Structure 1
Amino acid sequence: MTFSRRHLIRAAAIAATAGPLIRTGRAKAVDTADVVVIGAGLSGLNTAWILTEAGFDVVVVEGSSRIGGRAWTATDSETAPDLGASQVGPSYARVLDVIGRLGLPMVGEDRPILPFTYHIGGQAVLAKDWADHPANKTVGAERKIAPVALSGGLIAKFNPLKELDDWLRPEFANNDISVSQLLENNGVSKAARDLVSLTTEMNNTSVLGLMHDGVRGAFEAKFAPAQSEQIGGALVTKSTDAKTADGAPVEAWPKNFVGGASILPMVMSKQLKRPVMMNKLVAAIHMDDGGVDMRCLDGTSIRAKFVVSAVPFSLLRLMEITPSLDRVHFQAINEMGYTDTARAWCTVKEPFWQQDGLNPSVYSDSALRMFWVHDNHSGKKDAPTKGPFKATFVLTWGAADRIAQMDPARASAFLLSELERLRPASKGQVKVDRFHSWGQQSLQRGCRHSYKPGQITAFANDMIKPWQRLHFAGEHTRRLDYGMESALESGERVANEIMERA
């Protein structure tokens, strides 16, 4: 195959973002396989595993030196946090099946968030005082909704979706609009909209996608009611002492992997006949009537019958694909939005909130946005709670994009200084163990996909269809599920597509 000038430009773009992973070299002998899968995250590995069990010769190539994609346990950090995927819900049928097959140990998540103080407009307001506090400028029924729950609560109020696939149905296309437009159309006050904007992208995200998240969350809650809640766009554990009818403790959900979520993709990769080819950055995919030629920047070439892209569109758009994509696939791959989430995992030496008299956790209109303090269960009746505690700075959307411009050390120092400004008693009591921004990861370029207004109507239904011999997997191609379950859902769908064609 020949390489065009456009191909060389795209290859240079990949190389520029991948840094030390790139080692250019001469062309190597061409490997062959039935299927080549690009990306060793959960979706790519599930595709490869299913096809391997069906008798296909499958090779997986991974651009980094790590298996797992957004399932990444930072074992090099003191608290070994899961930087991305971590939770397994009770309705995650595929994930639970894989866990059972692989014999992976699980533990109930136990990190409920302690009550919030709202730092809004220069005032600190306890959660119990918010509804009637002068700092609360919202109106009517809005006043009773806590700021941390306002975005999810208002979107849920105006959500017409009932079924898991309603978001893809044309009769709901009128909701493929911005969050701002939805709230304005329904008479939500400017003060409430301003609070929502602290943790939600208002103008450049389709609310229809967020509505689907809400419906999927409600579906999840049917399996384990009252054990989790949405806080600032994330699902977190609630502290509960619920019992069954016979007095036994209710099984704890969601669950986490013993040793961290990285164990799942690592063990999945061991089920493949071929080892994952690491540090292989794909530069070009060329399809013809007989198959696919896939070329990596280091000269590795693989000839296969089919190719599966299990990487984000934000990375796939840098690869040369021939023949040229049709309109729908070109638009989806090149225009779909991606949003960042930045977090800093911390240890709190001693409970500074006992000194300042405020609630431990923070939700604010400052640059730090949210600081979650997790219950360490050390308190006893009529006795003060002791440290240390775990805590997490959480920034989403625009706030995450802005702090991602800083290196980890500077970002950590900035977050601590902002917390000290709001809560002087915290000075010297909080230590950042790990800062992580998905937007800073060159092979991810964001925490997750985010449809822009109008994009669900424009291409969500058709973008998952194969383009000639190229198939598409990944959470961004999800239909009914979310989280890790959606990654396995997409891998299963693609494996079935290929088996039907072979």
Structure 2
Amino acid sequence: MDTPNKSGPGNSISAIGELSMRTRFISRRGLLQTAAAAGAASSFISKPLRAATESDVLIIGAGLSGLRAAHDAQDGGAKVQVIEGRNRAGGRVLSLTDIPGNPEAGGNGIGAGYGRMIDSAQRFGVELMNIAERAPLIFQRELVLDGKVIKESEWADHPRNAFKGPMKKMMPWQPMPLLMSTKNPLGKNYEDWYDPKSFGLDVSMHDWFLSQGLDEASIELAYNINCEHGASAHDVSSLMVAFTYSWGNMQRDILPRATYAGKGGNQSIPNAMAKALGDKVHYKKAVVGIRSDGNMAEATCADGSVYRAKKIICSIPFAALRNVKMDPVVPGAQGRAIKTMGVQKLTQSHIVAKKPFWTEDGLKPGLWTDGIVGNMMAQPFGQKPDEITSFTLWHRGWMADQIDRMPEAEAKKAIIAGVEAIRPSAKGKLEVRGFKSWQTDPFSCGDWAIWQPGQVRDFIQHVAKPHGNVHFCGEHTALSNRGMEGAMESGERAAQEVLQAL
């Protein structure tokens, strides 16, 4: 989600108890629907298991969902152990603390309705800052097509403008949020996205756009160039997108001028959660196999270590779980979901400018392009709200594929050259200080989950079902929330399941 992501001095919410209470257990309808009783698996190894450690609950993954599950299970009296493949906590929450302003390479703004995130920040001593006042500068950007800057005043009559009627006056990034705000088929009932009565909407965004009167050229311009979800309008369900926008609008309805970030970076929240667990979190434990019988479950790591528990909570994203041997194999719709669910292709570049080139050429700081630069957004997180500390470049879909095929050093050079070609005033003033490809990260294999057309209908009631003694969490299993809050929701639900079963 392209939202403000880090703060310098801002408005602390250390005294937002009322907001926290209002949002603490927001949107929990349907959470327990996924707590189906675990059936015994049919096969297991024939000799006793030898484990490096045993516990009541083994949590795989020290991202937000896994850490929330660990704390909830521990609070419920279970002996827990967390293992994480990376050498850090946070999963897809990653703060680049070595870059001015601490930009986010993962989870971004925390909305007013992120009750679990807000609770966790308060519980574990992380200060939250309101960064909403910095948002306007983030979204100041110039349109660039075919390498040429097109001024907003020129756009309505420009030959590349394929829009019709009132949309003719809109910049390419404006029709999508407008349509999803005024014609969202879910309206304010965002939880209806997983109700079978909504499954008729589980069609491609391309088909939904056509139903709204857009032609192919307009769809290309309004969606495919810089895809918010998926790689094109053909490979993402309009039901997922409608849910995303309806849920996002709910956040703004709760408190319109509120977007928060953890002081020092959003990763400070999972870091604090992991620290509170102490030596119960083991890092550099890449899981390669998960096995379960009717009584116990175990996880085998690439280094040969084995962890055994009565229950496993697995937060591995499905795109990465495909590379883990499951014994027994996950059957049916849930197994197909693991094998086929989509994932967002996303690579981010974080650029620091040695001098403010945007004051020299008179253009807006950011860029929205149809080239390798992608969507370049200013990050105003200095001491003053208008102080730009870095730029985040969002490369999605085909752009991410193109960049990821290059060696990192070559990719950085190509990105800098792309910006300089558009803005000669930036020549010699840019440095790529941060670079993150989520789809080449073996522990995620992409960013957030993408529900492809038909997959909400086919998989939504199955993705979170326990498989023997293995339970699942992660934002891809959440029902009522998105992103970081969805991850927290799923961890809470999984902990409830195992505590009820122990």
Q: Give the shorter-chain TM-score range.
A: 0.7 to 0.9
Q: How far does the alpha carbon of each residue in 1:31-56 deviate from its partner, in whole angstroms, 9 at most, with x for none?
A: 21111111111100110111111110
Partner amino acid, structure 1, of 2:346? T
1:381-420 correspondence to structure 2 within 5 Å: 389-420=389-420
2:224 corresponds to: 197
Alignment-mate amino acid for residue 125 of structure 1? I
Paired residue for 2:75?
A: 53
Question: Where does residue 156 of structure 2 map in the other structure?
Answer: 131
Q: Which runs of 5+ in 1 are unaligned?
A: 4-26, 228-252
Matches within 5 A, 1:121-270: 121=146, 123-162=148-187, 163-195=189-221, 196-200=223-227, 201-225=232-256, 227=257, 253-270=258-275
Residue 151 of structure 1: SS of its match in structure 2? helix
**Partners of 2:250 and 2:492 in 1: how far apart?**
21
User: Secondary structure of the residue that 2:399 maps to in structure 1?
Assistant: helix
What is the alpha-carbon distance in structure 2 between the residues aligned to residue 46 and residue 389 of structure 1? Answer: 32
Distance 2:69 2:179 in 1: 37
- Distance, in Å, in 1 between the alignment partners of 2:302 and 2:341 is 25
Alpha-carbon contact 1:182-1:207 (below 8 Å) kept: yes
Tell me the residue number matched to 1:440.
440
- Contact 2:100/2:389 (8 A) holds in 1: no
Q: 2:324 aligns with which of 301, 314, 319?
A: 319
Label 1:267 to 1:447 Cα distance change in 2 as closer, same or farther (>3 A). same
Cα distance change of structure 1 residues 143 and 378 upon mapping to structure 2, 3 Å threshold: farther
Farther-moved stretch of structure 1 (326-335 vs 416-425): 416-425
Is the alpha carbon distance of 1:388 and 1:140 closer, same or farther for their aligned partners in structure 2, counting shifts above 3 Å? closer
- List runs of 5+ in structure 2 lacking aligned partners: 1-43
Q: Number of paired residues?
A: 448
Pair 302,29 (structure 1): closer, same or farther in 2 beyond 3 Å: closer
**Residues 153-182 of structure 1: per-residue CA shift (max 9 Å, x gap):** 334444210312111112221221112121
Alpha-carbon distance between aligned partners in 1 of 2:453 and 2:159, rounded to the nearest angstrom: 35
Q: Distance in 2 between matches of 1:376 and 1:501?
A: 46
Q: How do residues 282-297 of structure 1 correspond to structure 2 at under 5 angstroms? A: 282-297=287-302
Seen in structure 2, the aligned counterparts of structure 1 residues 298 and 222 have a Cα distance that, compared at 3 Å, is same
Quick one: distance in 2 between partners of 1:28 and 1:296? 13
Partner of 2:116: 94
Q: Is the contact between residue 147 and residue 421 of structure 2 (CA under 8 Å) also seen in structure 1?
A: no
**CA–CA separation in structure 1 for the residues paired with 2:383 and 2:58:** 51
Q: Give identity over the alignment, percent.
A: 30
Structure 2 CA distance for partners of 1:132 and 1:283, relative to 1, 3 Å: same
Moved more, 322-331 or 358-367: 358-367
Q: What corresponds to 2:87 in structure 1?
A: 65
Q: Which amino acid aligns with 2:336?
A: Q
Work out whether 1:107 is the aligned partner of 2:138.
no
- Note if contact 2:148-2:422 (Cα within 8 Å) is conserved in structure 1: no
Q: Tell me the CA shift for residue 63 of structure 1.
A: 1.2
User: Are 1:367 and 2:369 matched, yes or no?
Assistant: no
CA distance in 1, matches of 2:205, 2:63: 30
Q: Given residue 472 of structure 1, which amino acid in structure 2 is its aligned partner?
A: F
Partner of 1:329: 334
Relative distance call for 1:326 and 1:199 in structure 2 (3 A) is same
Q: CA deviation at 1:28?
A: 6.3
Rounded Cα–Cα distance in structure 2 between residues aligned with 1:461 and 1:2: 30
**1:63 and 1:279 in contact (8 A); partners too:** yes
Asked whether the 8 Å contact 1:114–1:359 carries over to 2, the reply is no
**Aligned residues: CA RMSD:** 2.4
Q: What is the CA-CA distance between 1:389 and the residue it aligns to?
A: 4.8
1:56-104 Cα shifts (integer Å, max 9, x gaps): 0111111121111112223344654321123221111111111111221
Q: Aligned with 1:148: secondary structure?
A: coil
Q: Distance in 2 between matches of 1:378 and 1:31?
A: 47
Residue 400 of structure 2 aligns to a residue whose secondary structure is helix
Q: Counterpart in 2 of 1:85?
A: 107
Name the structure 2 match of 1:116. 141
